Structure 1
Amino acid sequence: MAQQHLIVIGGGITGVTSAYALAQQGHRVTLIEKNRYAGMETSYANGGQLSASNAEVWTHPSTLIKGIKWMLKNDAPLLMNPKPSWHKLSWMAEFVANIPKYRDNTIATTRLAIDARQHLFAWAQAEGIDFDLKREGILHIYRDKAGFDHAGEVSKLLAAGGLPRRAVTPDEMRAIEPTLHGDFYGGYFTESDSTGDIHKFTHGLGQACERMGVRFLTGETVQSVSSDGQVARVVLASGDTVQADAVVVCAGVRSRALAAQLGDRLNVYPVKGYSITVMLNDEQSQAAAPQVSLLDDETKLVTSRLGADRFRVAGTAEFNGYNLDIRADRIRPLVNWVNECFPGVSTRRVEPWAGLRPMMPDMLPRVGSGRLPNVFYNTGHGHLGWTLSAITAHQLAGHVAQWQAQRRHTRLVVPAPAH
């Protein structure tokens, strides 16, 4: 039986990795992306961490307490717009309902993050992709005993998922990253974690996809998507229609609306995050910026060093609907953090950015088939899209292979003759 033709909707990190994994299987793939290039939205300027050590899901009671406490504080790490909507309320209700699954989901996410590494690194090496990979580990920093003690409990869950990380003293923290300034209670260091530029990787893997025969329809907005279980159809805003044997929805925060058209409920909520890219234009700034990736638990900020002349700082979570406004009062804390922790770094030239994380209430991505057999999803990765992308693409390819085998079996079954 011939390989299948699949449409992938979305050209972010999950869409491009999905297209690559499917093309590796020999399928014919058409990828539809509304921007001119791949990786131009949430996969453009994230925190850069490939962080199994950040696999702790947010469905912990402390998240609710902090959210309420910070609700009226504009520069808070977690900001909730109090204006109600049915989408937000239903998502929050399901989030609370998943609190009892906090432990199991954290362990499951850790395992996924570890498994993702082998695929992502192998693909980058096979395709010769330079994405400023830095395998220097990730250092979690804590300013008080309460945060440090909670991290100790999280470390037990990470260990259950197969990830070792070790507690470090303030002196050991300074040895690991000598440029870091400030008073800290302690930290946790995960040597096996790494960082890289998600946009450069997505772009490079997209080029590899094209070499493998993947057809890219860029600058095309999806008007509607439908399937009868045998044929999938995507109508574009340009008026053109693309038909295929199956469709894969990798559309980030827009996956919810597309899933509804296909008869599936996918409660993805857009959780906005911000980042700044500090341009290290002088030797002093380059020397004063960290080489090791950091996660500051109190401020919920992460960092990555991207090559010699860029320093990325990202974080915060804003529940404010489909809103991409870059707010000065949300960017300012990121710049202030750099000034305080790395005073030798010049922040004269800083590029701000905002992106919408596609987040499910249980904090786990949705990978697999929908109600109809030829409809698939790979979306809802939340704050770990970059970290989990390679393993979920690999899993998706497995679901498609299973569907193809069932489809082949159905076609081979010949009705018995009537007696």
Structure 2
Amino acid sequence: MTKIVVIGAGISGVSTAYALLRQGYDVIVLERQRYAAMETSFANGGQLSASNAEVWNHWSTVIKGVKWMLKRDAPLLMNPSPSWHKYSWLAEFVSNISKYRDNTVATTRLAISARQHMFDIADREGIEFDHVTRGILHIYWDKPGFDHAAKVNHMLNEGGLDRGPVTPQEIASIEPALHGKFYGGFFTPSDSTGDIHKYTTGLGRACEKLGARFVYDAVVKRIDRNKRFGLSYGVHIKNGQAAERILEADGIVVCAGSASRELASMLGDRLNIYPVKGYSITVHLDDEHAQSAAPWVSLLDDRAKIVTSRLGTDRLRVAGTAEFNGHNRDIRDDRIRPLINWTRELFPGVNTNRVVPWAGLRPMMPNMMPRVGKGRAPGVFYNTGHGHLGWTLSAATSAVLAEVVAESVPVTPRHVP
């Protein structure tokens, strides 16, 4: 039977494994952590947001980045220390500004198609993930912000999204718990939210039922072309304290988030992914007063670059910021504090005495588009680089990738003696 090794057990890797299993492949998933969904897929903002499909390749992003460079609590923060990887990535980022409109429309369409894939999977496999279907509300404090959003809205509408403007009075009606004097907003009723960790681990269990094998604490040390026994690749892994061993496979799919760049280099490909750190807090709503004071409608505050998602009755996820600081995973108080202060300001009835902070590395390509498809060598594939939309896009990109694999490495039936 045709064997595929998937590297990475975050949302992209587990979704890819599931799509390949449905095609009839024998799948092994390698994960360097002890469990699935323990890195970027652990505590993100929770939004399944086609309404956030605008790519970042715009001159306004560059200007804000320069202006905020020395402000430690800025929504976008860049460590100015020299790094060839960082500055080559930024150069490519700027070169893709000309594709801003086309890539935004394309991302919108992909995000919309991903919805049905994900919902069908969750229904089929009985995955519970605190799914809330009350839409996403974008809020704007001033006219310039709202006017830019109106231009973006034309692109999102062109991509097929049902997103429209709302007045301050309508904002208050959509989410009564929200406090603030807003200029206006945009509302997307078809967007939703959920717990990415619950979904990914639930999908992982579904993969195991379909025959997938997960190997945890597995660090990939080397990947060789290997013609023995008719197989194509030997993946050398170090698994905990055990001796290095080799897994043989007909094909490899790299879904390893920010680590995909190093793995691609092993396979002869250049994959210019940069780890853009984001932060979140999970606010525990421990009493009825806090629960009633917290929002149920998901929010995006464009000025602060902060999003919220309600995760069941007793949790509120608040996330945001972008930090260009390499593979640093430190949780910094000066980056968490703005999330807490924002929550107190806009939801004064929410008690923030029990808050769990987190930081994760978004794997971003310079053009803000995921890398989905073949590598240079036969039998090598990628489904990675989803940036801030991995949760939103992975179900669709995994379906696309499974079709690409099927064309290049057809399934052969298991031999029964």
- Establish whether TM, by shorter chain, passes 0.5: yes
Q: Which residue number in structure 2 is paired with residue 364 of structure 1?
A: 369
- The number of residues matched between the two structures is 405
Letter in 1 for 2:401: L
Measured against aligned partners, the alpha-carbon deviations of 1:248-299 in whole angstroms (never above 9, x if no partner) come to: 0000000000000100000000000000000000110000000000000000
In structure 2, give the amino acid aligned to 1:322: H
Cross-structure match for 1:268: 273
One-letter code of the match for 1:101? K
1:246 aligns with 2:251: yes
Select which of 296, 318, 322 maps to 1:291: 296
Residue 236 of structure 2 aligns with an amino acid whose one-letter code is V
Instruction: Return the letter of the residue paired with 1:27.
Output: Y
Say which SS state the counterpart of residue 270 (structure 2) adopts: coil
Q: Structure 2: state its 5+ residue gaps.
A: 413-417
Structure 1 residues 7-41: Cα deviation after superposition (integer angstroms, max 9, x where no partner): 00000000000000000111000000111110000
What residue number does 2:216 align with?
Answer: 218
Query: CA–CA distance in 2 between the matches of 1:373 and 1:157?
Result: 37
Q: CA deviation at 1:237?
A: 1.6
Instruction: Report the secondary structure of 1:46's partner residue.
Output: coil
User: TM-score, normalised on structure 1?
Assistant: 0.95
Q: Which amino acid aligns with 2:201?
A: H
Aligned pairs (5 A) from 1:139-158? 139-158=137-156
Does the 8 Å contact 1:227/1:375 carry over to 2? no
Residue 306 in structure 1 maps to residue 311 in structure 2: yes
Indicate the SS of the match to 2:409. helix
Partner letter of residue 232 of structure 2? Answer: V
The alignment partner of 1:167 has SS state of strand
Contact 1:227 1:262 survives alignment (8 Å):
no
State the TM-score, normalized to the length of structure 2. 0.96
1:40 and 1:404 map into 2 onto residues whose CA distance is 30
The equivalent position to 2:180 in structure 1, one of 170, 179, 182, is 182
- Are 2:132 and 2:194, in contact at CA under 8 Å, matched by a contact in 1? yes
Tell me the distance in 2 between the aligned counterparts of 1:4 and 1:95. Answer: 38
> Is 1:202 the equivalent of 2:200?
yes
Q: Residues 318-360 of structure 1: CA distance to partner in whole angstroms, max 9, x if unpaired?
A: 0000000000000000000000000000000000000000000
Corresponding residue SS for 1:223? strand
2:343 aligned residue: 338
Partners in 2 of 1:224 and 1:143 — Cα distance? 51
Q: Residues 172 and 178 of structure 2 are in contact (CA less than 8 Å); yes or no, is this contact kept in structure 1?
A: yes
Q: Which deviations, in whole Å up to 9, do the C-alpha atoms of 1:360-411 show, x marking residues without a partner?
A: 0000000111001200000000000000010010011010111035x98xxx
Give the equivalent residue in structure 1 for 2:59: 61
Query: Is contact 2:279-2:357 (8 Å) kept?
Result: yes
Show the counterpart of 1:235. Answer: 236
Residue in structure 1 matching 2:114, options 95, 113, 116: 116
Question: How far off is 1:225 after superposition?
Answer: 2.0
1:234 maps to amino acid:
V
In structure 2, give the amino acid aligned to 1:125: D
Deviations 1:44-101 (A, max 9, x none): 0000000000000000000000000000000000000000100001000000000000
Q: Distance in 1 between matches of 2:224 and 2:233?
A: 6
Match of 1:83 among 56, 81, 84: 81
Name the SS of the counterpart of 2:153 in structure 1. Answer: helix
Q: Is the 8 A contact 1:303 1:312 kept in 2?
A: yes
Aligned partner of 1:163 in structure 2 is 161
CA distance in 1, matches of 2:233, 2:286: 50
The question of 1:92 aligning with 2:93 is answered no
**1:221 to partner: Cα distance:** 1.3
Name the stretch that deviates more: 225-234 or 97-106: 225-234
Distance 2:200 2:50 in 1: 20
- The 5 Å alignment of 1:272-283 reads 272-283=277-288
Matching of residue 404 in structure 1 with residue 397 in structure 2: no
Deviations 1:171-229 (A, max 9, x none): 00000000000110000000000000000000000000000000010121111223368
Structure 1 unmatched ranges of 5 or more: 409-419
Identity in percent? 66
Give the stretch that moved more between structures: 227-236 or 65-74: 227-236
Shift in Å, 1:232: 1.6
- Cα contact 2:195–2:311 (8 A) shared by 1: yes
Q: Is the 8 A contact 2:140 2:146 kept in 1?
A: yes
Q: Matched residues in 1 for 2:300 and 2:225: separation?
A: 43
